[in-house]
Chains A and B, each alone.
Chain A
Amino acid sequence: MEGFRASLAIYTFTWIALVGGAVLEVVFILNGIARWPELFVLGVSGFQVTLILLFYMHLRDEPLSIKAMPFITLLLLIALLASAITSVLACTPYVAG
């Protein structure tokens, strides 16, 4: 763990980036700057989550097996969601008539 000043700097920087990210999202989406809002949001949120994991939760200081756990969680979620979403996109809708 770093000393007081270093930690203070890292946490403050992360805080600014998080708040800034939220503001950025608002500005870009309200003004229609982002062409694909969902992807843009995913990108910004992903970036913020990475910051939190690495700097707030000190994941970079943890051993590999702990680093692996959130990573595997993410992979499994992607597998589940990708299958679920593509499976219904392929369905023929039916409205009783």
Chain B
Amino acid sequence: MSEGYLNQVSRFLWRWLTTTNHKDIGLLYILTSIYFFLVAGVLGMLIRTQLAKPGSSVLIGNEYNEAVTMHGLFMLLWFVSPLAFGLANYIVPLQIGARDLAFPRLNALSYWLYLASGLIALASFFAPGGTASTGWTLYAPLTSEIYSPGKGLDLVGLAVILFSASVTLGTINFLVTIVKMRAPGMTWARLPMFSWTIVFTVLLMLWAFPTLIAAVFLLFLDRNFGTRFYDSPLGGSYLWAHLFWFFGHPEVYILLFPALGIIADVISTFSRRQLFAKHIIVLGLSLGTALSFLVWVHHMFITGIALEIRKIQSFTTAIISVPFEMTVIAMILTLWRGRIWYTTPMLFALGSIFNFIIGGATGVALSSVPLDIAFRGTYWVVGHFHYIVAGVITFGLMAGLYYWFPKITGRMYNETLGKIHFAIAFFSMHPLYLSWFLLMDMPRRIYDYAPEWATFNLISTIGAFIFGASFILPLINFTYSLWRGPRAPDNPWNAYTLEWLTKSPPPRHNFEGEVMIAGDGRVLFLATNGGYHHVHVEHRTLTPFGIGLGALLVGLGLIYSPTLFTIFNLNVTLLSLAGILTVAVSLLAWAWGDLRDRFVIPEPKTVEDWPLSGVDKVRSGVWVFLVGDMFLFGTLIGTWLFVRTRSLVWEPGYLSHDLAIGLVNTFILFTATYFYLLGYIFIRRGSTAGFIMNMVLATALAIAFLLVKVVEWSHLVSIGYTLNTGLQAQLYYTLTGVHGLHVLFGALATVYIVAKALRGGYTRESHKGVVEIGLYWGMVEMVWVFLFPMFYLL
């Protein structure tokens, strides 16, 4: 009997650890994000308890700052976006008529990296010295090793970087999926609002997260390797502010858009009307997406920067409210001439529109610089963004959970309990958050305050407890309904988007037959075309889990393990080493599976794929990745430019680099890329031998580049020019180091395609990967084209 049990457990584990199906991964994201919601929610309750009355000592000092910081980080990074992406994972392929996402293994990897990052962030609480206590905005120089000693902040930084990596993979996946895998007839005009908003969200992520990765990476160097990027006189901390808020403003739209999409779909379904002026909403949201990158200075209005810049961005901030006003009005007008059915999701959706009016109006006040001067750093700001994050985004996500619960689980939740949840949440959130506008003089992030602020703080705390408690209801509701709820029909809401035209829950391949949408909008399910349905495709792999596990071990190894040895000032611990080995082995296994063509998914013959027609999925994905990588390098090169324009001279520690070595390496790199491209034209005429020869030459030259660099660095270190010798040195080592890592990965990738060719995998027609890795080499070369003159000539 116990053997049967063990068997069951191991089958269960195997099923979940090796899945790459979008529905499974969606569920994993949803459940994990709810866990982090509870963690962050408890931290919020602690904060409100401390603030219930002045002079309280429930949570004070640095611990209070830790609670405030991690409440913010967990809510924004580990709850909101992952829940949105859990729903997106599950629902978007259904809405567009696809079978899965474009890159299922990458999807699984995104999840395991997310989980690893969240666990590392949790572990940071237990680091000696505690976790980050600088606010989620991580302002320098408070985050330097001087003012925030201890490894807690490093763990949080690592968690943020891992999370950003997870998100970047998700960006590639969703962009390629929604553009290139829509069923025939599913034009952009027919695409539901939720899928549209996911497109905008991932576009925002594409250009926002690389800046964050660069910024946190530089912080990590400052804290652990003695560089002084953020500390240097004449504005080092401005550098952090600009980089962080360049990410930070698009981030808030990354949080908002999926919820808006859900609210739009829900309102449309339950008023029985098409969304009013949907094309205007889409136009508005695309304008908002573009503008969101030009308003970040409104978080820096009192930093003393140039008046002209503040005026320009005050103007752009005001303009950016217009598309959202349009969206809200369009959603309200969707109700007109409808027949509104008041279900729980609809109540949450309408409640969020009301909250958006309040949150948006208070935001417009913040766009005016004189008003912002008074409101900055006060509870007015906190009230504004909580109305949006809790009142609009969380309500929107709750609407999504209730709305799609029957589709995902095949059971109906209890409607009465749902309505009670809405009533309690909606009515308690106003005392909770409105009081903060009346506390517009009270500073943020303080644990004790002036007596005249006591009344509103108490009201707010009472509201907080009721609001927090209300979330017990959906927990009970969903858990119980999952187990004992009545079976849900395929389309309980009589909705018209595609996900409702299949079973609840959907079968593994989502639809019975191929989806096609005729000219008049009729949805057809065709019998399988050309054997697509019957090909057995390998879906399961343990490698994404392996990489996530390795990442987790590396993170935990930062604090929980004995040091084995030290290289370049870095303590390599047992756990970290185990983690790195796990990652390496998993990557090798992944490549091995690819070499044997185990994961080739046949593509359907016809598909809507404007505007990427004629570009295959992998190449599209690689371009998306490269754009993110270009932005990362752009930020780092920009840092050089920033530092250089501020300092009239480079001291201390300026060194004129050896031009000869630089020129030699430049020549080597240019020639390596050249040979790579020669190999490409050889394989295009079918000559495998010519291909392999050129690839080997390219790889050899790439290795030579790295060897020359090692020689150069050793020489520099031996004459005393190290990472912390000064501004020029830290920029030099950081930039050429990151570039060198890219060259290394390029060389490994080239070795991989040589192996593939040797196995006979490449022909004149089919040589997957050659173009893509060639694109990558192009980018590596582009970066060097700047680095060479920057460090050897200027």
Contacts and interface: CB of A to CB of B under 8 A. Distances in A.
Do A and B touch, yes or no (CB under 8 Å, in the complex)?
Answer: yes
Interface of A: 1, 4, 7-8, 11-12, 15, 18-19, 21-23, 25-26, 29-30, 37-38, 41, 44-45, 48-49, 52-53, 56-57, 62-66, 69-70, 72-74, 76-77, 79-81, 83-93, 95
B678 A11 contact: yes
Interface string B608-619: 000111110000
B207 interface: yes
9 contacts: A30-B793, A48-B782, A66-B620, A76-B293, A77-B638, A80-B638, A81-B641, A84-B638, A89-B306
Nearest to A49: B782
Nearest to A82: B309
Given A26-B793, A63-B611, A85-B641, A91 B681 contact: no
B207 A76 contact: yes
B780 to A, nearest CB: 10
A84 to B, nearest CB: 4
B300 to A, nearest CB: 8
A49 B666 CA distance: 14
Given A11-B677, A22-B788, A84 B781 contact: no
Determine chain A's interface SS by DSSP, over half rule: helix
List the 9 closest pairs (A to B, CB-CB), nearest first. Answer: A87-B305, A90-B306, A57-B778, A88-B235, A65-B611, A84-B242, A41-B789, A77-B634, A15-B674
B667 A91 contact: no
Determine chain B's interface SS by DSSP, over half rule: helix
Contact of B623 (A41, A69, A80, A90): A69
A19 B678 contact: no
Given A88-B642, A90-B306, 17 more contacts: A8-B678, A22-B663, A22-B788, A25-B789, A30-B793, A38-B794, A62-B623, A65-B611, A76-B207, A77-B638, A80-B242, A80-B635, A83-B242, A84-B242, A87-B309, A91-B234, A92-B304
B614 A63 contact: yes
Contacts of A4: 681, 684-685
Contacts of A86: 306, 309
B674 A11 contact: yes
A15 B671 contact: yes
A38 B779 CA distance: 22
Contacts of A89: 306, 645-646
Contacts of B781: 18, 52, 56
A18 B670 contact: yes
B631 A26 contact: no
A92 B303 CA distance: 11
A95 B235 CA distance: 12
Contacts of A38: 794
B46 interface: no
Most A CB within 10 A of own CB, among B309, B624, B777: B309
A83 B233 contact: no
Given A4-B685, A19-B667, A84 B778 contact: no
B426 to A, nearest CB: 38
A89 to B, nearest CB: 7
Given A7-B681, A41-B793, A63-B614, A69 B627 contact: yes
Contacts of B667: 19, 22
B613 A63 contact: yes
For chain B, which range describes its interface: under 10, 10 to 19, 20 to 34, or 35 or more residues?
35 or more
Given A11-B674, A26-B663, A95-B233, A41 B638 contact: no
A64 to B, nearest CB: 6
A94 to B, nearest CB: 9
Nearest to A69: B627
Contact of A73 (B300, B627, B774): B627
Most B CB within 10 A of own CB, among A4, A8, A85, A87: A87
A66 B678 contact: no
Contacts of A1: 684
Contacts of B305: 87-88, 90-91
Given A15-B671, A22-B788, A87-B309, A62 B615 contact: yes
Contacts of B242: 80, 83-84, 87
Contacts of B782: 48-49, 52-53
A81 B642 contact: yes
Given A84-B638, A88-B646, A37 B793 contact: yes
B466 interface: no
Interface string B216-258: 0000000000000000011100110010001000000000000
A23 B664 CA distance: 11
Contacts of B788: 22, 25
A23 B779 CA distance: 21
Contacts of B615: 62-63, 66
B233 A93 contact: yes
A87 B794 CA distance: 23
A29 B667 CA distance: 18
Most B CB within 10 A of own CB, among A4, A26, A57, A89: A57
A44 B645 contact: no
Contacts of A15: 670-671, 673-674
B611 A64 contact: yes
A37 B792 CA distance: 12
B235 A91 contact: yes
B585 interface: no
B663 A87 contact: no
Contact of B677 (A56, A62, A85): A56
Given A7-B681, A11-B674, A85-B641, A76 B631 contact: yes
Contacts of B234: 88, 91, 93
Nearest to B638: A81
B785 A18 contact: yes
Contacts of B239: 84
B595 interface: no
Contacts of B638: 77, 80-81, 84
B627 A84 contact: no
B281 interface: no
A73 to B, nearest CB: 5
A67 B700 CA distance: 32
A13 B681 CA distance: 15
Contacts of A8: 678, 681
Contacts of A7: 677, 681, 684
Nearest to A23: B663
B627 A45 contact: no
A86 B300 CA distance: 14
A79 B294 contact: yes
Contacts of B374: none
